[in-house]
Amino acid sequence: MNITVCIKQVPDPNQPYKLSGTRLDREAVQPVLDPGDEFGVEAGLKLAEAHGGEVTVLSMGPAKAMEAMRRALSMGAHKGILVSDEALAGADAQATAQVLAAAIKRNPFDLVIAGTESADGSTGAVPAMIAELLGVPQATFAKQLEVKEGTLTIHRQTQEGYDVVECALPAVLTVTSGVNEPRYPTFKGIMQAKNKPVEQLSAADLGLSVAASQQVAAVNPAPARGQGEIFEDDGTGAARIADFLKNAKVI
Amino acid sequence: MNSYENEARRSAPLVGERGERRTRGGRNLVGFPAVSTPTRNRADALDFLGVDALLSEEERMIRDTVRRFVRERVLPDAGGWFERGEFPRELVPELGKLGLLGMHIDGYGCAGASAVAYGLACMELEAGDTGVRSFVSVQGSLAMYSILRWGSEEHKREWLPPMAAGERIGCFGLTEPDSGSDPGSMRTTAKTSGGDWILDGTKMWITNGGIADVAVVWARAEDGIRGFLVPAGTPGFSARDIHGKMSLRASVTSELVFDGCRVPRDMMLPEARGLRGPLCCLDEARYGIAWGAAGAGRACYEAALAYAKERTQFGKPIASFQLTQRKLVEMLLATNRAALLALHVGRMKDEGRLAPEQVSLAKLANVRDALEVARSARSVLGANGISLEYPVIRHMNNLESVFTYEGTNEIHTLIIGQAITGLSAFQ
Ligand SMILES: Cc1cc2nc3c(=O)[nH]c(=O)nc-3n(C[C@H](O)[C@H](O)[C@H](O)COP(=O)(O)OP(=O)(O)OC[C@H]3O[C@@H](n4cnc5c(N)ncnc54)[C@H](O)[C@@H]3O)c2cc1C
Ligand SMILES: Cc1cc2nc3c(=O)[nH]c(=O)nc-3n(C[C@H](O)[C@H](O)[C@H](O)COP(=O)(O)OP(=O)(O)OC[C@H]3O[C@@H](n4cnc5c(N)ncnc54)[C@H](O)[C@@H]3O)c2cc1C
């Protein structure tokens, strides 16, 4: 099974972010492999362990994204592709998807795995666009997954519970943070990572000249959360909390 | 830049632009007076000297992996383990999986990492808890290293892979009730009888003793001190855990009793003869301890710095008082110096030019400094400084063990004293 896992390097989401204009200031905060993408890497490794085959990690980003790539390789991925090109700086979701799809298409693939949404851009749009560009089905929000005889079956996380979704391979799959427990890289893995092949590509190598079609007009902080409602329990507390939850459509 | 701007910069508050609490990696806490280049470097409040930049990418990845493991698997429970006097045995296979056990051994299922990488791992583990780091030191640097260095090929093949995986636990029995700093005075004996060895005697203060699958035991034979592998369950061998410890509580410490304990001839480590056998293993462990202590000190400093910036008395954060700042700066000084020293001896070890007395210097200096840092940090935390809600008192108490084991402060002083004067002051 040939599995490609899309991974993104993001500014450490556990640290306060800094803006420079309408963009994140990437110099200010330590870059890390998007924690959400670790679930994708783990899912890919598990499948390759069960069915054989190789896991390729694919990233588009600045040259520094090689560190995130090495981390995924140290977890056990077999090889990497890093698309890095000044011409791609400022790419939006669509341009990113075009680049990633073009890189994926160069080799035969059975499954493309991505995160549900990135920790920084968070559009959640890239995987669907990749599926469209590759002309394959997508199975999203997987909290459980299985591959059997060319068919991918997932439990798709929903508001109420989950749907069981099935599609034929090749396909694009996005995984949630509940899908598995990503392994720690082992020291052996870390030491082997630097000898694993990483192909470095430019936009021209992919025969692409893409440009962002979106522009970020403004960036505003999310409104501070309003004060919660406080119920003093005078014997009717439980009923009032139940009403409150009903109104909020939680129960 | 004119002097007015300069002044304005200097008086700016030493916190991030949004007043956020600083975490590792940010670059907004400043200690230098302003200089005129706009892109000047800034010292990090934690890694003040930028020791990080001296590490390779691979070393940083190993460090970050252990740091994360500690954050996720050690720190949430470390206070509870200490309070209950409980060693987290469930961590052992996880430590093995990462490659922490016998980490710097090549082959036999071990990771084969560099001395610096091993040191960094010790540092991060002990920034979590000294008990966990002690487990790793004893397993890897004492028990496994004894087998690697002095054992037969069969010993290595049988014991090292499962010990590396954390499936088997080892301990190292040198100290006795009446023989501590002076191991040459040991009384445990090994006598030959019908092709076997008979061990008699008592070992004391043995880390991992009660949970070990195999004990590396040093005993006096006819031709000098010899090492033996004694599997748990061997008739005549029993272990009793030591209770009532006020230090290193998340670690098993035991007494080992050998009462006519018969072990087959081939359980002797063939290559070790004399005190050099155990002492060269101690050198390995002491090296890791020099790193580990730097980690414990750093954890105390970080806790004190964060606390001092948040705790308000007399209408101001206590970090704004000169007396507190002095404490914080002294801690910073000690922890950064310790990290540099550890890295320096680590590079020397990787180059194969580290002498035992240099390991002594690093162990002595870093453990002593860490203990000072811990005590000072404890005072900064006030009453909270004695609570297990914070890591400081735990580290402070743990470091008392580190101060004593693997050669006391005094013994390392005498080793260094002998090295520089050529005169032994041991007796
Ligand atoms: C030179 C250069 C500089 C860049 N600088 C910036 C920058 O300053 N700010 C910025 O936000 N982005 C930057 N990018 C990356 C790119 O613009 C974003 O990846 C893109 O906007 C995707 O949107 P998203 O993060 O919302 O993805 P989402 O759709 O939220 O991501 C979902 C999943 O898609 C996959 N995915 C998304 N992006 C990538 C990627 N780049 N590589 C591999 N897999 C991916 C991951 O699996 C992810 O979990 C840069 C890229 C290059 C080449
Ligand atoms: C938690 C813990 C775990 C341990 N784990 C192990 C283990 O796994 N395996 C093992 O073999 N041992 C272990 N030890 C034992 C440890 O190595 C010894 O405690 C240490 O070597 C000191 O020996 P002692 O306690 O007998 O003190 P002593 O040797 O009796 O020393 C008492 C004091 O006298 C000082 N002193 C001794 N001789 C001199 C001198 N010549 N000049 C000046 N001062 C001197 C010492 O520095 C010390 O301050 C452990 C100890 C502890 C506390």
In this predicted model, what pLDDT tens digit does every residue of A12-62 receive, in sequence order?
988 888 888 888 888 888 899 999 999 999 999 999 999 999 999 999 999
Nearest residue, CB atoms, B20 vs list A16, A71, A74: A16
The distance of A27 to chain B (nearest Cα, Å) reads 10
Catalytic residue status for B124: no
Provide the 3-class DSSP secondary structure of residue A114. strand
Going from the Cα of B411 to the center of ligand 2, the distance in angstroms, rounded, reads: 9
Long-range CB contacts (within 8 A, 24+) of A145-153 = A145/A43, A145/A173, A145/A175, A145/A179, A147/A1, A147/A47, A147/A50, A147/A51, A147/A111, A152/A111
State the average pLDDT for chain B: 91
B65 in contact with chain A, both atoms CB, cutoff 8 A:
yes
Could you give the CA distance from residue A142 to residue A167 in angstroms, rounded to a whole number? 13
Tens digit of each residue's pLDDT (9 = 90 or more) over B263-284: 999 999 999 999 999 999 999 9
User: Which residue, by CA, sits nearest to atom 15 of ligand 1?
Assistant: A61
B280 and B370 belong to one structural domain: yes
CATH of the domain at B221: 2.40.110.10
Going from the Cα of B426 to the center of ligand 2, the distance in angstroms, rounded, reads: 14
Which residues sit opposite B100 in a β-bridge? Answer: none
Ligand with smallest separation from the Cα of B143 = 2
CA A71, chain centre distance (Å) = 15
Location of structure tokens 């050099």: B276
B140 and B200 belong to one structural domain: no
Q: Is the CB of B139 under 6 A from ligand 2?
A: no
B416 and B284 belong to one structural domain: yes
B99 and B188 belong to one structural domain: no
Decide which of B395 and A227 is more confident. B395
Tens digit of each residue's pLDDT (9 = 90 or more) over A104-146: 999 999 999 999 999 998 899 999 999 999 999 999 999 999 9
Contact criterion met (CB below 8 Å) for A38 and A6: no
The distance of A115 to chain B (nearest Cα, Å) reads 21
Nearest residue, CB atoms, A16 vs list B16, B62, B111: B16
Could you give the CA distance from residue B407 to residue B392 in angstroms, rounded to a whole number? 24
Instruction: Confirm whether B39 is domain-assigned.
Output: no
Instruction: Confirm whether B21 is domain-assigned.
Output: no
Q: Is the CB of B290 under 6 A from ligand 2?
A: no
Tens digit of each residue's pLDDT (9 = 90 or more) over B139-192: 999 999 999 999 999 999 999 999 999 999 999 999 999 999 999 999 999 999
Give the end of a domain, one of B267, B296, B312: B267
Could you give the CA distance from residue B402 to residue A243 in angstroms, rounded to a whole number? 58
Nearest residue, CB atoms, A15 vs list B23, B103, B121: B23
The distance of B408 to chain A (nearest Cα, Å) reads 32
CATH of the domain at B288: 1.20.140.10
Tens digit of each residue's pLDDT (9 = 90 or more) over A202-215: 999 999 888 778 88
CATH of the domain at B149: 1.10.540.10
Cβ pair B111:A71 closer than 8 A: no
Q: Give the type of residue at B76.
A: P
Q: What is the pLDDT of residue A15?
A: 85
- B161 preceded by a cis bond (ω within 30 of 0): no
B379 in contact with chain A, both atoms CB, cutoff 8 A:
no
Cβ pair A185:B65 closer than 8 A: yes
B326 and B217 belong to one structural domain: no
Percentage of residues in chain A having pLDDT higher than 90: 71
Cα dihedral A167, A173, A179, A185, rounded to 10, equals: 140
Give the end of a domain, one of B267, B296, B321: B267
Tens digit of each residue's pLDDT (9 = 90 or more) over B33-65: 333 334 456 788 888 999 999 999 999 999 999
Pairing type for strands B170-173 and B214-221 reads parallel
Least confident of A98-107, B22-31, B103-112, B310-319: B22-31
User: Which residue, by CA, sits nearest to atom 12 of ligand 2?
Assistant: B175
User: Which residue, by CA, sits nearest to atom 7 of ligand 1?
Assistant: A90
B226 and B312 belong to one structural domain: no
Ligand with smallest separation from the Cα of B184 = 2
Could you give the CA distance from residue A23 to residue B98 in angstroms, rounded to a whole number? 37
Cβ pair B98:A184 closer than 8 A: yes
Nearest residue, CB atoms, A187 vs list B23, B57, B62: B62
Going from the Cα of B46 to the center of ligand 1, the distance in angstroms, rounded, reads: 31
B141 and B183 belong to one structural domain: no
Best mutation target among B55, B64, B65 (most A Cβ atoms within 10 Å) is: B65
B80 and B214 belong to one structural domain: no
Q: Which residues line ligand 1 (CB under 6 A)?
A: A 6-8, 23-24, 26, 34, 36-37, 40, 58-62, 84, 88-89, 91-93, 96, 100, 114-115, 117-118, 120-127
Within 10 angstroms of residue B276's Cβ, the number of other Cβ atoms is 12
Tens digit of each residue's pLDDT (9 = 90 or more) over A151-207: 999 999 999 999 999 999 999 999 999 899 999 999 999 999 999 999 999 999 999
Instruction: Confirm whether B26 is domain-assigned.
Output: no
Give the end of a domain, one of B238, B267, B296: B267
Instruction: Confirm whether B29 is domain-assigned.
Output: no
Q: What is the pLDDT of residue B40?
A: 57
B326 and B255 belong to one structural domain: no
DSSP A179: S
Give the domains, in start order, of chain A with CATH numbers.
2-206 (3.40.50.620)
Q: Is the CB of B175 under 6 A from ligand 2?
A: yes
* Structural domain count, chain B: 3
User: In chain A, which residue's Cα lies nearest the Cα of B94?
Assistant: A184
Burial A43-63 (b: 16+ CB within 10 A, else e): bbbbbbeeeebebbbbbbbee
Going from the Cα of B405 to the center of ligand 2, the distance in angstroms, rounded, reads: 6
B252 and B188 belong to one structural domain: yes
Percentage of residues in chain B having pLDDT higher than 90: 89
Within 10 angstroms of residue B36's Cβ, the number of other Cβ atoms is 9
Location of structure tokens 């720190």: B75
Q: Which residues of A touch B (CB under 8 A)?
A: 12, 14-16, 18, 28-30, 67, 70-71, 74, 184-188, 190-191, 193-194
B159 and B174 belong to one structural domain: no
Handedness of CA A115, A120, A123, A125 (dihedral sign): negative
**H-helix or E-strand spanning residue A32:** strand A31-33
Going from the Cα of B28 to the center of ligand 2, the distance in angstroms, rounded, reads: 44
Instruction: Confirm whether B261 is domain-assigned.
Output: yes
Q: What is the pLDDT of residue B148?
A: 98
Q: What is the pTM of this model?
A: 0.87
Best mutation target among A12, A187, A195 (most B Cβ atoms within 10 Å) is: A187
Show the beta-strand stretches assigned E in A49-183.
54-60, 79-83, 111-115, 138-148, 151-157, 162-168, 171-175
Instruction: Confirm whether B30 is domain-assigned.
Output: no
Least confident of A94-98, B16-20, B98-102: B16-20
Q: Which residues contact B324 (CB under 8 A, 6 or more apart)?
A: B308, B318, B380
In the set B126, B357, B406, B410, the catalytic residue is B406
Q: What is the pLDDT of residue A211?
A: 79
Contact criterion met (CB below 8 Å) for B201 and B215: no
Contacts of B24 in chain A (CB under 8 A): 30
B326 and B394 belong to one structural domain: yes
Q: Which residues contact B293 (CB under 8 A, 6 or more apart)?
A: B126, B338, B363, B366, B367, B369, B370, B399, B402
Range of the domain at B49: 2-7+44-164
Please state, in angstroms and as integers, the Cα–Cα distance from residue B59 to each residue in A103, A133, A184, B63, following that order: 31, 39, 15, 6
User: Which residue, by CA, sits nearest to atom 14 of ligand 2?
Assistant: B205
CA B144, chain centre distance (Å) = 16
